[in-house]
Amino acid sequence: MNLYPTLEILDGKCVSLTRGRLDEPMIWHVDPVETARGFAAAGASWMHLTDMNGVRGDGANVDLVTEIIRAVGIPVQLGGGFRSRETVTQWIDKGAGRIVLGTMAVHDPEGVKELAKYHPDQIVVALDIFQGKLMTDGWRNPSAFGPEDFLAAFEGVPLAGVLVTDIDADIEDSDGSLGVISGLAAQTRLPVIARGTVRSVDDVARLRYIPNISGTLIGRALLAKDVDLAEALAVARAAPEPKAEFI
């Protein structure tokens, strides 16, 4: 299982959001570029970066995002309010390893499928789920699509993965059940990346036993030093325990 150490940046600062609110960020007083380099130094093979200014609809972080992509030394999975195919292509050309598309995948699914064909294994579709509904526009608006039907529409498309967030669990900041994410993972052959589920190394270990979970994001727990990245990476990469054979 792949572990994606994660940074969210807003106005040049590392932040965490409470209930997705851009106007109430928790600010971490760390350097974004050096923190990203630290992920690579700890042994991460990927990192995830969300540009919250992109979600908000402005380009204030463009230079910083570009610098992180160039400086970190590992591939960057980039999310943050992508609204056009041209912008996606521009960031791939700038060196982003993958692009995460949520609202755009709802409003223009055929366009996202075309992007995935042109950039196989570089497009990730995000499913943000709240009370059983697929949410768009930074968790603000429910979609007319159900999560299961939406996921089924992308079967057979050469996506790098599907990033699934159970917003209920994220809002409550609880260890909660992985029922929503594991249920969707059981319905698709696409690789599923979990978000909002890791608050301890034990959570990483637990995810390894859920079929079709290819990876998980971990952000706030790293910045709060609740989790040591090197230890979490070792747990994520550990070989499955042998199963007893019965005659």
Catalytically active residues, by annotation: 8, 128
Residue 22: CB partners within 8 Å, gap ≥ 6? Answer: 10, 52, 55, 56, 138
Buried b (16+ CB within 10 A) or exposed e, 114-141: ebbeebeebbbbbbbbbeebbbbebbee
